[in-house]
């Protein structure tokens, strides 16, 4: 799929990686970019079309579909992250909230927009995942679980939507220099760099993007023996602490 001339909808486009997606899409010649956010007045980027969309609300998604019947690129970026491990006092509440946004949200939008994409030639969906889809630890345990579920969703949608010609892309990355990771002391990638890497993969027809060193390293080790996975994650944490 070509970015130039595309008509894109980006969820969570008022800041962070979503804002970077909207900005780079315009730079690359997208014909229109719908910048979706819970509060559309928070969208300040010139050249986009602000759109009210809370991915946890069926009525918002239904209204968005009615307003954006020309979309051929859906970018499921909206997400939340809460720190803590699985045994924390608020782990169940945090898990429910994050699953609703990070898993049910993309499921809701994909279901709603699949017919729109089919009508407009197939198009594509990009789901923003995480290296936490594969590597879980006590820092972001319930967040990682929600992203693992979103990875499974992405893989299933890729198979199911292939028959209508919709390309489904899963974006994996480590920490990105956005508000979401502001409190985390670890190496971070530039959001614009992540977006450019992802859009290049989209145009090459790829289904998975390993957008940074940590995602590539962890992905390689998933095919090794089980103890090596934990050795890798420990080494990555030690490296981050040293830097």
Indicate if 39 belongs to the active site. Answer: no
Residue with the bigger pLDDT between 230 and 48: it is: 48
85 Rama class: left (phi>0) / alpha (psi -120 to 50) / beta? beta
Selection from 216, 98, 205 nearest residue 158 by Cα:
205
pLDDT in tens, 65-100: 999 999 999 999 999 999 999 999 999 999 999 999
Whole-angstrom Cα distance, residue 86 to residue 183? Answer: 20
- What pLDDT is stored for residue 221 in this prediction? 82
Quick one: average pLDDT of 177-204? Answer: 82
24 Rama class: left (phi>0) / alpha (psi -120 to 50) / beta? alpha
- What pLDDT is stored for residue 137 in this prediction? 82
Whole-angstrom Cα distance, residue 123 to residue 8? Answer: 10
Q: Domain 7-212's class?
A: alpha beta
Sheet of 49-52, strands arranged across: 49-52, 32-37, 7-10, 73-76, 124-128, 167-172, 208-210
pLDDT in tens, 94-127: 999 999 999 999 999 999 999 999 999 999 999 9
Q: Catalytic residue among 119, 143, 188, 239, which?
A: 143
Q: Model's pTM, two decimal places?
A: 0.90
| Residue pair 112/104 in contact by the 8 Å Cβ criterion | no
Residue with the bigger pLDDT between 170 and 221: it is: 170
Q: Catalytic residue among 147, 188, 229, 239, which?
A: 147
Indicate if 52 belongs to the active site. Answer: no
């Amino acid at each position: 799929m070509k970015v130039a001339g595309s008509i894109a909808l980006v969820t969570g486009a008022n800041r962070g990686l979503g804002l970077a997606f909207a900005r780079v899409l315009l730079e690359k010649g997208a014909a229109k970019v719908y910048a979706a956010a819970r509060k559309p007045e928070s969208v300040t980027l010139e050249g986009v079309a602000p759109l009210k969309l809370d991915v946890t609300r069926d009525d918002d998604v239904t209204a968005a579909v009615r307003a954006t019947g020309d979309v051929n690129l859906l970018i499921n970026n909206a997400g939340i992250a809460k720190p803590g491990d699985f045994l924390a006092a608020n782990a169940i509440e945090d898990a429910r909230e994050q699953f609703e946004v990070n898993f049910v949200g993309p499921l809701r939008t994909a279901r709603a927009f699949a017919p729109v994409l089919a009508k407009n030639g197939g198009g594509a969906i990009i789901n923003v995942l995480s290296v936490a889809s594969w590597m879980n630890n006590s820092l972001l345990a319930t967040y990682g679980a929600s992203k693992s579920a979103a990875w499974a969703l992405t893989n299933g949608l890729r198979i199911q939507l292939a028959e209508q010609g919709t390309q489904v892309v899963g974006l994996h990355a480590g920490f990105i220099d956005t508000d979401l990771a502001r409190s985390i002391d670890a190496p971070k990638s530039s959001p614009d760099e992540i977006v450019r890497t992802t859009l290049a993969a989209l145009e090459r027809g790829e289904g998975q993007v390993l957008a940074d060193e940590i995602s590539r390293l962890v992905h390689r080790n998933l095919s090794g023996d089980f103890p090596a996975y934990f050795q890798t994650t420990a080494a990555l944490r030690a490296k981050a602490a040293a830097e």
